[in-house]
Chains A and B, each alone.
Chain A
Amino acid sequence: MTLKPRLTFCIASIILGSSFNAAIAQDATNNASFESSTAVLDTAILFAIGAREAEQAIRGSFGWPTFQEGFVESVYFRFDPDGYARFSPSPRLDEDVFEIQCVQNGSACIAQKNGVEIGLTPEGRVQIRFDGITPNDNFFVSDRKSELPLPPTILEPLDTRLETLLSSSSELVIKRELEVLQSISLAGFSAVTTYLRWVAQKQSPRVFPRGWPVPAQAGQSHSSGLTQPSEWETTTNAPQVSNTTWHMQSRNLSQNQGFSNAGPVGKGRVNYQSEQYGQLQSEFQVMKEELAALRSGTSDQNPPVNANQGWASQVDHGTVFGNEIQSVGQHSDIVAPNYNALQNSNIGSALAPHNNFAAPFNQGEGMDFRPNTGIQSQFPAQRSDDAVLTRVANLEAKLEALHQLITRQHKYSGTASKVDQLQLLETPETSNKQIYTSSGDERIKVLENLLLQRLGPTKPVADPTPVMLETSVSQDRREQELVEEMLRKLDFSPAKAATTIQTRSSNPEIGDSSEYVSLSDYLNRVLKNNELNTNN
């Protein structure tokens, strides 16, 4: 009589218990929504004077315990250790907001505002993307009284002048024919671009432009363990970026091109190698561009050296390998921007005030934070008639740096094909021998050939623009033309070049280039030697 209920109870208990076990044992079936991301910023390191680290009011079980808030460049800002930030003229950060999200553990940060996305290229240049525009749309900057048309290059990585122009303007206006398609406030543009570089540079104060309210160094070293990025792995969702609006991201991640903070936050060796290789490619591209700039300097356009001066103020763009690459990164911007369009659009006068912005930028006290690269010495005050020689020396130094990087690449070339390795590792002794046994134009040709042989044709930068520009010439073809142009340039008379460029500022000293030597410095040095040989 009593056995039956007990047996029933036991069976029921077993069944319930087993179902409980089965149910209770299930862990997250969809943990993907809570992937961990790593802190990339120490909120104890101040972004600007007056900023402060504060604690977040966390009620739940996860989140970032601290953040930093402050006011700089007329905007208020707050950011979390994972790089998520907001910049706004309103103290509530509720109006006219630049919102910045970082993906891939901070290796790529994107600022967004009203359909506009701002990021950094691997070279550290600012690039803007617009949603829903067509090739026929025109861009203007506005100071609320007048409008200045912008060149189509706004859809490409920005040069310094264009970036400065945007930083000093109130609004960016997009027009389709005569209709205003969109008007975007540029409040906070300068602070945001500085922030993007600051994150990419692991909070290095060297990225701060001149005039930036640089916080005290003491405070920066006074960071606590609580905010040490290495200690953290957030429990929060990885930032969600819609594929439709962020189609560029995947390309960046796969090709290491386009928007990407080049900071090696991810410590994976493969990433490191790919980033290095990307940097090498970029550097080579820069060198070619610099050679092109040298050539274009003979024209009546804005002297490229002036452009160079301007870019010289933009320090530490998108660097990866520390100071070595920082110098390269600086030179990566030494591209003679095609401002014909600007001038033809009668905005030359508007740009004029900005043309000389580099001079004060480079004469200030802010230089304390920067490595003593050749860039710093390219001041107008230090002009020299020996400009060509100096630039050749600089290019030569750059080549040396490139060689060092290639050697390093070899060390990490676990994933590279043997063919690539062989190409990359073609005996430097032979190369150097060829270089130093040559003279004059031959030396330059040797250098070019060596570079092409080692790296092959530079990979085209993935089309960074959402719309096709009128210049639909492939990147390969353009680069090939550039190389040909450089080769033609190498045939020019150094003496003529010296007289042409003598009005430009130059870098009379290489100074401490052993540590921060760059490829362009190396080539400059070669050119200098070439000129000396020719004069002799």
Chain B
Amino acid sequence: MPAQLRNIILIILALGLLGSAISGAIYLGDAVGETVNSNAVKLANARAEKTAIETERAANESLATEFLKENPEYSALASLENANVNGFEIRTAIENGSGANVDMESLPSLLRGQLPSQSLSTTSNAEKRVAPPRMCEMPEDYFDNLERPNGDAKLPGYTDENGYVRSYKPRRGFLNEREIQAAKVAWGYFEQFTQESTGLANSVGGYPSTTLWDTASYISGLVAAYELCLIEKPQFDKRIMRLLTTFRKLKLFRNEMPNKVYHTKTAAQVDYSNKPGEIGYSALDIGRFMVWMRIIRNRYPYLANTIDNMLLRWDYSNIIDEDGVMFGAAVDKETKETIYAQEGRLGYEEYAAKGFALWGFKPYFAHRAEPYLTTNILDVRVPYDGRDPRVFHSQNYVVTESYLLDGLELNWDLLHDDASSDTVHSDGWRAEFADRIYQVQHNRFERDGYMTARSEHNVKGPPYFTYDTIYSDGYPWNTVTPRGDYSPDHAAVATKAAFGLWALWDTYYTDILYEAVIELFDPERGFYEGLYEGGTGHIEIQTANNNGILLASLLHKVQGRILTGGAGGSEVWYTRFRDRDVRIRRKLPDPPQQADWLPAYRHPAQMEETQ
């Protein structure tokens, strides 16, 4: 190859390399420039964001500082100095015990909702009561390992904390074949009489109306059916969601609280004749409903949001006053205006009050036994409401049901008690009164031979409903109609009362009651309402209340106290509407703190009274 040609080729290659180098340099410069520019923007944004955060934090710190200056008693909340609007620091501070005595009234509204509710387990670091497993998921030795009732050998009577230890023990264990059959039959009522359109169950057989009380009984039946493995979760979810969805859209009595009665097919407000109309609301019914809302909220946290939002629609401004008195509502016949009247008598009143207390309300007065009196029946001082029916125009029926429900669902405990042993009933006087209610019926059987398990119940034909009481109107064993007629022919062993007594009092007498009612059913329609005392057969009516309480009794045998501890943490129930005046207008409560707990009272016990 000649030397010139080789030089030319080398020159061309050199020029090519030079060009490539120049092109690469230019491209590289552009890329670097773009990156530099981008980083500059990001840096500027970051600086701006930092400035904003610092400004906000400074504002918060300023707010907190001002608050602490005005409220030096909260200096213990040291972490408030770093508080921001999400309140985690507040929660942390309180959970650490530094905020145990927070005065909720003085806290800004925005801050209150995020405070967690205080219960016995959070303040004493005791082990929180958790939901027991479903019956079909229990190991065979489940009850062998369970705390034995009265196993701690505490003597019957009041404790130093005004709790009460009963001399009787409840029945615990797996259901036997007869009881499983009974549960299936009772659940059959709800399979038969639940309306698909609304998810509501009829109160009485095929008649399409219901109350909140009876709806709560349906929910108790539904929970029991699931926990006793009669139904599985898909069906449980479908039923409960349909029901809660209906309640989410339920028309309220004058935009306040649920009407007393609803049509189960349409969920429309109806009157006592099931015609469209509004008749007011019942604080007792609503109280029982709220007990069961809390039960399913605690047991099934995935339903919490639905339940919270449903209950947040209601206006609680008139149902409980500042003294803790519960009021029902009715419509004035002349003016059509709403009339509010105190509702509830000894037994029912305290039970319903607990329902409100479970949601942070403070029904102090309603929860007290006073005013009450006692009367001696068969050597038992039976307590009854001291408000004179002639003055207050409201009867003071003494029946078993309200005491049973308190025992089955709440273990006669106070609402903040999510940790104590089941053998100690922290709402002591309720358990002690319940024992008297049992004992007087037991004594009647032993002395007079009458098998007795008294409650309110429906009857077929006039008067359609009776208060089959232990005591009312000044008479023992008084069976009266809603208008006050003495109707002894309708005295009966109420199926729900018999099952409840059987579950909570493990005695030979309740064994007899059990035998009397365990097969008292129509296999297609559920358990009959009861067995007439006079030997005229059974009451040929099936109701939601009867079958629901029966299922709750069976559930109690398997799982004990039905209300379990909550999941803890913030609740939409307490946090929503904090930025608006809705909570003030509807008197929505704040998370209960220790200072808000219902007090434990002690009343003269039966033995002391008779001495």
**Could you list which residues of chain A lie within 8 angstroms of chain B, going by C-beta atoms?**
12-13, 16-17, 19-21, 23-31, 33-34, 36, 54-65, 67, 69, 78, 80, 84, 86, 92-94, 101, 224-227, 231-237, 239-240
Question: Are A65 and B272 also in contact (CB < 8 A) when A16-B234, A33-B460, A56-B482 are?
Answer: yes
Top 3 nearest A-B pairs by Cβ distance? Answer: A28-B206, A94-B486, A224-B333
Complex contacts, B394 vs chain A, CB 8 Å? 57
Q: Report the nearest A residue to B462, measured CB to CB.
A: A84
Is A233 within 8 A of B486, CB to CB?
Answer: no
12 A-B pairs with CB atoms under 8 Å apart are: A16-B235, A28-B193, A30-B206, A57-B483, A61-B203, A61-B204, A62-B272, A62-B464, A63-B465, A224-B333, A227-B333, A233-B273
**Could you list which residues of chain B lie within 8 angstroms of chain A, going by C-beta atoms?**
191-196, 199, 202-211, 213-214, 231-232, 234-235, 238-239, 260-261, 265, 271-275, 279, 331, 333-334, 393-395, 456, 458, 460-465, 467, 473, 475, 482-488, 525, 540-541
Complex contacts, A225 vs chain B, CB 8 Å? 333
Is B467 within 8 A of A237, CB to CB?
Answer: no
Complex contacts, A13 vs chain B, CB 8 Å? 234
Is A17 within 8 A of B456, CB to CB?
Answer: no
Is A61 within 8 A of B193, CB to CB?
Answer: no
Is A27 within 8 A of B206, CB to CB?
Answer: yes
Complex contacts, B211 vs chain A, CB 8 Å? 60-61
Is A239 within 8 A of B196, CB to CB?
Answer: no
Q: Report the nearest A residue to B464, measured CB to CB.
A: A236
Is B462 within 8 A of A78, CB to CB?
Answer: no
Is B464 within 8 A of A27, CB to CB?
Answer: no
Is A34 within 8 A of B279, CB to CB?
Answer: no
Complex contacts, B456 vs chain A, CB 8 Å? 59
Main secondary structure of the interface of B (DSSP, over half): loop
Name B209's contact: one of A65, A78, A235 (CB within 8 Å). A235
Name A60's contact: one of B204, B275, B473 (CB within 8 Å). B204
Complex contacts, B525 vs chain A, CB 8 Å? 30
Complex contacts, B272 vs chain A, CB 8 Å? 58, 61-65, 234-235
Q: How far is B449's CA from A86's CA once the two chains are assembled, in angstroms?
A: 30
Complex contacts, B273 vs chain A, CB 8 Å? 36, 62, 232-235
Is A17 within 8 A of B234, CB to CB?
Answer: yes
Is A34 within 8 A of B207, CB to CB?
Answer: yes
Is B214 within 8 A of A61, CB to CB?
Answer: yes
Is B196 within 8 A of A21, CB to CB?
Answer: yes
Is A62 within 8 A of B204, CB to CB?
Answer: yes
Distance in Å from the Cβ of B188 to the closest Cβ of chain A? Answer: 9
Q: How far is B350's CA from A236's CA once the two chains are assembled, in angstroms?
A: 30
Q: How far is B204's CA from A123's CA once the two chains are assembled, in angstroms?
A: 40
Complex contacts, A94 vs chain B, CB 8 Å? 485-488
Is A58 within 8 A of B207, CB to CB?
Answer: no
Is B194 within 8 A of A23, CB to CB?
Answer: yes
Q: How far is B211's CA from A59's CA once the two chains are assembled, in angstroms?
A: 9
Q: Report the nearest B residue to A59, measured CB to CB.
A: B456
Q: How far is B132's CA from A384's CA once the two chains are assembled, in angstroms?
A: 96
Is A34 within 8 A of B204, CB to CB?
Answer: yes
Is B333 within 8 A of A226, CB to CB?
Answer: yes
Q: How far is B540's CA from A30's CA once the two chains are assembled, in angstroms?
A: 12
Is A61 within 8 A of B261, CB to CB?
Answer: yes
Is A59 within 8 A of B207, CB to CB?
Answer: no
Question: For A13, A29, A59, which residue has the most chain B Cβ atoms within 10 angstroms?
Answer: A59
Q: Report the nearest B residue to A223, measured CB to CB.
A: B333
Question: Are A20 and B238 also in contact (CB < 8 A) when A59-B456, A61-B272, A235-B273 are?
Answer: yes
Question: Are A24 and B195 also in contact (CB < 8 A) when A61-B272, A63-B464, A235-B273 are?
Answer: yes
Is B207 within 8 A of A62, CB to CB?
Answer: yes
Is A16 within 8 A of B462, CB to CB?
Answer: no
Is A24 within 8 A of B209, CB to CB?
Answer: no
Complex contacts, B483 vs chain A, CB 8 Å? 54, 56-57, 67, 69, 78, 80
Is B208 within 8 A of A28, CB to CB?
Answer: yes
Question: For B279, B394, B484, which residue has the most chain A Cβ atoms within 10 angstroms?
Answer: B484
Question: For A60, A78, A227, A231, which residue has the most chain B Cβ atoms within 10 angstroms?
Answer: A60
Name B486's contact: one of A12, A23, A92, A101 (CB within 8 Å). A92
Is B458 within 8 A of A25, CB to CB?
Answer: no
Distance in Å from the Cβ of A46 to the closest Cβ of chain B? Answer: 15
Question: For B206, B213, B238, B260, which residue has the most chain A Cβ atoms within 10 angstroms?
Answer: B206
Name A237's contact: one of B213, B239, B461, B482 (CB within 8 Å). B461
Is B208 within 8 A of A62, CB to CB?
Answer: no
